[in-house]
Structure 1
Amino acid sequence: MALIHGSRDSEYVSDVDSFFKRIGISYIFLLEHHEGIIPESFPLFLNWGRDYERALRFAGHRLNPLLGIEEFINGLKGRLPKTIIIHGSSDTEALRGVEALRNAGFEVRFLLGEPSVYSMECPSEAYLLFLFKGVIVKRAAETIKVKCPLIKLNGPLSSEPWFPSLVLRVLKSSGLLD
């Protein structure tokens, strides 16, 4: 069972539900769980941060955030445009995930933090690196379109036809699925 961030945004909830039905795994929102370890669960987060650390307190199994798993980073190569836009964090562990993206050849820009989307030259295409649709993805797109009105934005990952199989491969190689 995946333990994920959660949101009250209906588009996010619908996208999460659709994704997990496609891969045949149950899930629970971190926002809805307040105490006790969930024995067969694992956190499914893109990057490190407070919410991931909170999820670890409830998870029965540890799974590094996806940006901390080499197989995941390798799975992104050749599938995403060079410019990646993520939420951003000053957390040391989160910056390691960003460094893994950079080492894979991506140019990473933050919505919050430096290097910022506000200081970038407008590329023709960029990828909104989030797991699921919802309010954050919408806000990110709106923010970027103000600066770069002609940019082609792709994402989130749940919209990609190859993403479910990549997640399943990562879970299997991590020993969380048979």
Structure 2
Amino acid sequence: MARLTAYCRRFLQNCRKTSTARTESAHFTVDERKEAEATIIRLIQQQSFSLEYKALQQAQPVSPKSRIRWFHPFIGTDQMIRIGGRLGKANQVYDSKHQIPLPAPHHFSIILVRYYHEKHLHAAPQLLLYLLRLRYWITGGRRLAKRTVHKCVICVRARPKLLEQFMAELPAARPFSSTGVDY
């Protein structure tokens, strides 16, 4: 999805430039890919959190009925909604201090969770949620992570079925019917 968006962005930029200043490379730069991902996330946030986005742009508090009101949202320098909190002075990367909120039922969130699950060798739900929260905060993310792992065919096949063994009958002759301990 990010690659396709990067192609579209490059096409539009090349249409605006003169023929000598166009980008002809088949490969994307890191900046192009990051900007394409940021464009996708901005569009998703404007669609899913439209009331919150408008309120934050006008420097007003978000609605008390909002799903992200408890996270002290704000608009970052990249024009995306970010989550505030108590980690403002922590010695961490900006993305892990102020995650990007995404809605769980959105198709992009589902694709993102599935990508992280496969990228990190079919991570369990808790590890998957931890890895996602280094950059994103998906509302209802715990449920989405569990559902992704339980729907994964490879994880289901690798999960062994535990066999229950019944205890056998004890023999009639008891070799240790009387024991003693020497101190």
Pick the structure with more strand per residue. 1
Scaled by the length of structure 2, the TM-score of the pair is: 0.25
Query: Larger radius of gyration, structure 1 or 2?
Result: 2
Which has the bigger relative contact order, CA under 8 A and spacing at least 6? 1
Scaled by the length of structure 1, the TM-score of the pair is: 0.26
